[in-house]
Amino acid sequence: MKFRLGQKVKYKRISKKIEIDMQYFDVPDFEQGEEKVLERREFIELKKERTGYIVGRRKLVFKTIFSVNNDNYDDDSNIIEFVEIARQEYGFAYLIAYGMGQTNYVLEEDLREG
């Protein structure tokens, strides 16, 4: 079901951004050909159901996948390995206003008509 801008909705689960705080991987952390996943959003169950209004829809990063890149060479023909972002997984969430200046990101499956 698609929701319209300004539509009144109810929800009980929200999505929040996870602060990374300089959390990085180093080359020794990886096995050969291994990828590591870093979650970028967390889902929080609210104690009480909230009512709000849809004010937009956003494309958000949900996961970042890292891998080791060893395709680069230095001047002495030695392989230089470094960790790079292999890809990111995106998803859509609705931006819901539930108070003056207060908003939440909510997935479509967590919304119901209010």
Task: Give tens-digit pLDDT for 23-55.
Answer: 666 777 777 777 888 899 999 999 999 999 999
pTM: 0.79
* Residues 66-83, mean pLDDT to the nearest whole number: 65
CA 18/CA 41 separation, integer angstroms: 5
User: Which tops the pLDDT comparison, 66 or 61?
Assistant: 61
* Residues 54-62, mean pLDDT to the nearest whole number: 95
Q: Which residues form the domain of 79? A: 8-113
Token reading at 15? 């999505």
Residue 68: predicted pLDDT? 78
* Residues 15-24, mean pLDDT to the nearest whole number: 79
Residue 3 lies in a domain: no
* Residues 53-64, mean pLDDT to the nearest whole number: 94
Q: Are 94 and 106 in contact (CB under 8 A)?
A: yes
Q: Which of 35, 36, 39, 44 is nearest to 13 (CA)?
A: 44
CA dihedral for 41, 57, 92, 83, sign (positive or negative): negative
Number of domains making up the chain: 1
Using DSSP's 3-state secondary structure scheme, residue 48 falls into strand
Residue 73: predicted pLDDT? 52
Whether residue 77 is predicted with pLDDT greater than 70 in this model: the reply is: no
Residue 88 lies in a domain: yes
Residue 83 lies in a domain: yes
Residue 70 lies in a domain: yes
Residue 78: predicted pLDDT? 57
Residue 1 lies in a domain: no
Residue 49 lies in a domain: yes
Residue 2 lies in a domain: no
Residue 64 lies in a domain: yes
The phi-psi region of residue 77 (left if phi > 0; otherwise alpha if psi is between -120 and 50; otherwise beta) is left
